[in-house]
Chains A and B, each alone.
Chain A
């Protein structure tokens, strides 16, 4: 039986619900101009109870359960992906625009005009070859030309410095600050959620920061339901930095950069080859380290519970994934003994451990992958008989009925063998001592597909050739090529026909200056470099060098003997392997996950390599290999008129035909050289990539391809034109991304933004609802009034 006065409760709750909705509408209207504000709504439910003995149920009104935000996660994800692409395109366009300012010869007179000036003065001089004043004019314009080339080179170099500084001093610190802010917000949000409230404004702030972060780096945001206390679960936000590919276990290479309120930081550096790198260092005490330790401990405990005796020696552990849930761990040079039911299982090699868990997180199965490196084999006579092939064996040990096993056996290690200190160093407690097994070696090299970091790295590191992306390096190389060609062509012409003795009169084209070197300040060079380039002047050039491994590499059967007949060790395997690692021929996978940083090359041998046949290499080591040249000097900035010409120790050789005193054939040669076509050479990208493996076809010096054939004017005009086309293309890319980002943003606003018309309509709707609820109360009051005050009065 429904209570007589229950209707009043219904009316009161209806009033309250409508009032809440009106308040929320007011809050939305008040925040129409607040940046990042997400439209809110009061979520209502109908109150009802089910009573079995009633024929029908009448509800008890409505109730506001919570205030929620109206967001579309799809649009958030799309926005963050697209804003990362926009960030990259935007930065590339900015840098290209800076370069355009350098190469722009329409708004200002520049290199092309100065080349014409040199041509004019040479023409004047050719008409007056005996007049020194005209040669001085040539020298003056040549000097201006070199200074202009210097200036261009310095300006391009300034663009590089600015881009680097902007990355290191502004962008990276900004991102680190964002990581901290998001981490701090996550903490505040978790605390608020623990108390049962919904910190909507904090969500908005966090979303704003996440959107901003996405413009720098490609990210993926996940919410993981995390139980903080029994019965209290919060959505912990994790942010992954997206990386290409998967690791050897098939896990994503993505890097967890924010886990709840814990985050690491990015650092920038410039390596020995002048390439800019960005690394990420995980925070001390980061959950992934903690998780690795705790899961290892659990693993050991579970093994112990399953009647295994475990001994651990010389253990090195490294988390293979950056995910909070570590699914696999690599163990280097470990020696494990697992005994169960009296059977000893000893695995003494590099191997990986995997374990499977059930839905409760209990370890149910342990698997060892034992990888044995090739071993030297000997025939019956004891002679070397080649290497065995590498083997990989999977041992799986199911741990069944763990819950029924109560007898624990003593482990030789502590029951909690792993620990981590405040510096992030992981320790293992063995019977004898506490050994550090890994320091906080979580600095990771990163690749960025999108975001402004990707744009910066692309502009700073890619030199471009053919169809590859043309970064700042391409324009530096163009100027270097131009400067070098100018010096080589003019120095060559001026040195042709120069007599061995400056006092000789034997001027013939065949009588080339024997001391001629186009790059140094030797007689009769007109141009030189303040710091002469050597042969390795091409940007990113690969050069042939003696292969240091060649000295080590001998037939393993070959042995030298000392005077007493004892074998002399002539093969330093550790050094050879280190060299192979440095060259990228042998990589980390050959050490089962141990990086070359942690490898002790003084002790390693070929037998320690896994899954890698050394035979191919040992017997086929080339005498010379291609290695990357030293980073190029920016020698376009060093081009100058030679000191000898400047000091009048020598000058332009007017004639090489030995003609009369007024002969000018060599000056005409120079004029012709300015107008005629030259081959400006560069190397094919394949040539540059040919370092990777000795099996790759080697491209020799003769395989230089011409990057451009034309005059000096045309070469420079082509460089400007390439830049113009690149700018045009990138502007289009930028425009496309901008259009799309705007489109998504509009869609987001239509879902999450405050619309005054809609809120106005809501005001009327909730006001009417409120009025109706008030009317209900009046009606009920009147009904009760009738019962109480007007009924049963007859006869009184």
Chain B
């Protein structure tokens, strides 16, 4: 049977996880800005592995919540319900929220940078197509 301490441990693990994911996302952004496809590819591979880990952590969290009778409750609701700062400190929740927001912000920036690069590549391709193609009205 799990206890609130286990939930706290999961919270800590999630904070660490999100911080690591943000570091990886920053590398991804740098790779995109440097237009380094190999590095970007490597980051994506690492991230896919991380996401599998997140799934595992999330399942564990859901299981603990279920056992503690907090099913379908948000972490914030749980903290208010527990109302015990020493076992489940509000600061932890804030830290997790902060780490998640940082990741999402980075992710958003990376996404926009990728879209921008794709657009420029598209434009470049179009322009090469126009420059490099000779249109004739008859065949030789």
Q: Which residues of A contact B (CB under 8 A)?
A: 72, 74-75, 78, 82, 466-467, 684, 686, 703, 705-707, 709, 725, 729, 732-733, 736-737, 739-740, 743-744, 747, 751
Contacts and interface: CB of A to CB of B under 8 A. Distances in A.
A78 B29 contact: no
B36 interface: no
B4 interface: no
B93 A740 contact: no
Contacts of B76: 466-467
Nearest to A703: B80
Interface string B16-51: 000000000000010001000000000000000000
Contacts of B83: 705
A240 B58 CA distance: 42
B94 interface: yes
Contacts of A725: 98
B94 A747 contact: no
A716 to B, nearest CB: 15
Contacts of B93: 466-467
A706 B102 CA distance: 26
Nearest to A699: B80
Interface stretch (B5-13, B62-70, B116-124): B116-124
Nearest to B96: A467
Contacts of A82: 112
A301 B129 CA distance: 55
Contacts of A686: 80
A736 B106 contact: yes
A30 B138 CA distance: 43
Contacts of A466: 76, 90, 93-94, 97
A698 B38 CA distance: 56
B101 interface: yes
Contact of A736 (B29, B116, B119): B29
Given A74-B119, A466-B94, A467-B76, A737 B102 contact: no
A747 B80 contact: no
B90 A729 contact: no
A554 B91 CA distance: 47
A725 B102 CA distance: 11
Contacts of A707: 90
12 contacts: A467-B76, A686-B80, A703-B80, A707-B90, A725-B98, A729-B102, A739-B29, A740-B109, A740-B116, A743-B113, A743-B116, A747-B120
Contact of B105 (A736, A747, A751): A736
B85 A467 contact: no
A721 to B, nearest CB: 10
B97 A705 contact: no
Interface in B52-93: 76, 80, 83, 85, 90, 93
B101 A739 contact: no
Given A466-B76, A467-B94, A684-B80, A747 B116 contact: yes
- Looking at chain A's contact residues, the main secondary structure is helix
Contacts of A751: 123
The 9 closest A-B pairs by CB, nearest first: A467-B97, A736-B109, A709-B85, A733-B105, A740-B109, A74-B119, A684-B80, A740-B112, A747-B120
A705 B90 contact: yes
Given A736-B106, A736-B109, A740-B116, 12 more contacts: A72-B123, A467-B98, A705-B83, A709-B85, A729-B98, A732-B106, A737-B109, A739-B29, A740-B113, A743-B113, A743-B116, A747-B120
A229 to B, nearest CB: 36
A402 to B, nearest CB: 47
B8 to A, nearest CB: 16
Given A72-B123, A736-B29, A729 B113 contact: no
B80 A705 contact: yes
Nearest to A725: B98
Interface string B101-137: 1100110010011001001100100000000000000
Contacts of B90: 466, 705-707
Contacts of B97: 466-467
Contacts of A72: 123
B80 A744 contact: no
A707 B85 CA distance: 9
Contact of B116 (A703, A737, A744): A744
A729 B102 CA distance: 7
A733 B106 CA distance: 8
Contacts of A709: 85
A733 B101 CA distance: 10
Nearest to B115: A78
Nearest to A72: B123
Contacts of B123: 72, 751
Contacts of B85: 706, 709
A736 B33 CA distance: 11
A740 B114 CA distance: 10
B101 A729 contact: yes
Most chain A C-beta atoms within 10 Å of own C-beta, residue among B98, B109, B120: B109
A446 to B, nearest CB: 24
A116 to B, nearest CB: 24
B6 to A, nearest CB: 22
B131 to A, nearest CB: 13
B25 to A, nearest CB: 10
Nearest to A687: B80
Contacts of B105: 732-733, 736
A78 B109 contact: no
Nearest to B105: A733
